Amino acid sequence: MKNSFVPALAALVLSASMVQFVRAQDTPSWPEDYSYLTKLHVSDVVVQCVAEFDRWVEHAPKYDTLIVPDRRVLSAKIDSETPILSIGNPVPVDQVIVMRAFAKARDTANWTRVDSRCGVRDGQVVGVSLTPNMKPQIVR
């Protein structure tokens, strides 16, 4: 009885350590600032894209601030049919996430509506793009 207990205990300890290892691998790569989005049931790829946009805009030459409203994050479109991120940025991707956002031009107080596109390949963000989306003028 004593000999059969040791392998069972070793197997139990090994399986417990593997569960912790697997959970550590699933830990999201975004900062704590974005954890509230997971509580809103936003998919992981969309949260990754929002975090990447915030990192990207810090170094962007045209914009210095980007805001993606929560309602736009919740209604983000995930396109799995498009093979490239965009015409201007032809990076091969598995998914393209599209959201409406607002960007502030660098050194001005002007905000612009933008369509934000984020390319994901193998679960990692590989490219982002912002395109101005001007509100159509009403002609009377």
Distance CA 108, CA 64 (A): 9
At residue 6, the pLDDT reads 53
At residue 24, the pLDDT reads 40
Per domain, the residue ranges of the chain are: 32-132
Strand, helix or coil for residue 71? helix
Compute mean pLDDT per 10 residues along the chain, 140 residues long, and list them: 52 42 45 76 89 89 89 91 81 92 89 91 90 72
At residue 9, the pLDDT reads 44
pTM of the model: 0.69
At residue 5, the pLDDT reads 57
